[in-house]
Structures are given as C-alpha cells and as structure tokens.
Structure 1
Amino acid sequence: MREIDLDFQPRRPGALSIVLLLVGALLAADVWHEYGGLRDQLAAAESRLQQAERRAERLDAGRRDSRPENVFTADESKALRQAIAAIRIDWEGLYRSIDQAVSEEVSLLAIRPSAAGKAVQISGEARDMAAALAFVEALRRAPLAQVVLLSHQVKQNDPQHPIIFEIAATWLTGS
C-alpha cells in the first residue's frame, strides 16, 4: 500500500503572496482613483456641452427670423454641388484599379483626373510598345471604361528607347 502524506500544520503565506496582494490592492486603488477623476471630467464636459447647446439654440432662434431663404448665390451653389460631387467620388477605387494594372515594365509619370468630366488622363513610360499596350488592356476593367491610347513616342535620347505614352479613360463613379 502507498503511504499517504498528510500535513496537518497549515503553511504560512510566503512573502511573495503578501507582496502580490499589496501590489494588486495598490493597482485597484489607482484604477478607482483614476475612474473617479475621469467621471468628474466627463460630468464637466457634459455640463459644458449642455451650456453650449443652450447658447446655440438661443442664437439660432434669434437668427431664424432675420436669415434670408437662400444663403448662397447661384455660383456658390454650383461650386458647392461640384465640391460635394468630387468628395463622393471613390478616388481610392480609381487609383487602386490603375495601380493594379501597372506592371514592372510600366512607370506612371502623371495621373490627371477630372471629376466634372468623369475622365482621367494617364502619362507614363513603358519598356516597349508591347508593355504599353498590355497596360492599356489591363486598364479596361471597372471602374474604368473607354480606355484609349492617345499618343506614344519613342524616347530617342535614352539608350533603352522606352515608350512615352498618354492614355485617356472615363470612369463610372456610381452616382
């Protein structure tokens, strides 16, 4: 039979246990103190917000009667509508689709989008004509449409004779 080792004398807690307990109590007290400070800051911020809202309501009530119906002129309204339309365009999607079409044989020199015409003009340089045409073909997917190679020219003063090209395309903005 196996011997059972029973210890009837309780062990005293070690110094490490006491130190860990004290550290835990200090951390809890610090968290409680920090929470109280943040709660006070939140209450003060909410009070200032309510005061600002009441002031804004009083000012707005006084201006409602004296404010004209149309605040903007026709030109300002048109410019504002154009700015809002430009903001709503998915620029990231446009640039991502162009970036995905670029290969190691093509370097982009300029991308000139026109929000009003929903068109983009791309200038670049390709290692050879096949790379330029492959880039044009790779651009022919959403959101770009009607991708056209406008011009190309061999760079004679460069020993590798790269092709400089201009591409025009339209894009679908979703609106």
Structure 2
Amino acid sequence: MNLKDKLQSIGFSFLTVLFIISVIFIIVGLKSSKINWTFIIIGIAILVPFFIYLIYQSFLMSHEAEERGELYEAHLHKLKQSANRIPINLDKAIIQERYRYQTNTVVRGKAAAFNEISGHGHHNEETVKHTSCEVTFKVNYNNEELTFGRTINMGETALRMQFYIKKETILYIDPFDSENYYLDLDFLED
C-alpha cells in the first residue's frame, strides 16, 4: 500500500468518525426535552466536510471515467492505424439468439396484498424479456483459423437485416498479438 492509499484510508476513517459524531449531535439535539438547536447546528457543521468529500469523490470518478474513455479512444485509433485489416463478410456470421428474463414488481402495498389473497398474485409482477445475440466470425489469419465473437443487444432478425444492409465490415488485428483486435460494428449503434 503506497502513501496515497494510506492517506486516503486515514481520511475516509476520519470522515466516517465525523459523520457518526455529527449524527449523534443531531439526534441528541432532536431528542432532548426541548429541541436544542445548538447541537443540531454543530452536527450539521460537522457534516459539511463529509459532503465536500462526497462531492469531490463524485467529481473525481466522473473525471476518471472521461480519462478512461479518452485512453480507450486513443488506443483504438492507434490500433486502427497499425493493425492488419481483414474484411469480414457479414453474411457468414454465426448468430445465436439468447434470451434473459427479468421479473419486476409492478404492484405494491395493499393492492399487492389483495391480489395475493384473491389468487391473482401473478398480477403483482411483470416479466421482461431481454434479447441478445452471440455473433461469431471465423477468420483465416496467418495460416490459422481464428474465432472472434461479440454479444450484441439486438434481436436476430433486426441484426441480420443490419448485416444484410452493410454486407461487409473490417476486423483490425494487431500484427504482433492476435488477442488484441477490434471488430468494427459501430454501424449497429446508428
């Protein structure tokens, strides 16, 4: 653990203790026989560094996400410039449709209880079907047959239509590492 991690750990522990102390001050101020505004104000004042830390962390996380996105874009741009380009015939794609079901509660409270009692408990839930396709391409590269795949959140019919319209795309493979590749399916996002 380096110095930065240790300092962050100490700082987080300190802010946690401050948060607990401020909550105690606020509770004591509210629970006294007459509301003690002095304790409440002290508790709120102690909470200020905690909220500043939370705002700082959210800013830091959004900034790191932007940096990761920029690094990925730079890596992708570099890969596209230096990689071997292999045309892929989209008609030869192997597509396997997959389904995932998710149950959501749509009725709660008294109405849900009445549905359960009356034997219509199935009205309290809604099943949502998510469709995705596992797309696989087989490519001959350097006297080897390589298999590349990707999961696409789209139904099989719509995906085949998109492939039929586009006909061909490019597979970018790093000439020194065939594990480093990029299959250009950006046309599906339009």
TM-score tier, shorter chain, comes to under 0.3
| TM-score, length basis structure 1 | 0.28
Task: Name the structure where helix makes up a greater proportion of residues.
Answer: 2
- Structure with greater strand percent: 2
Q: Which has the larger radius of gyration?
A: 1
TM-score norm. by structure 2 comes to 0.26
Higher relative contact order (CA 8 A, sep 6+): 2
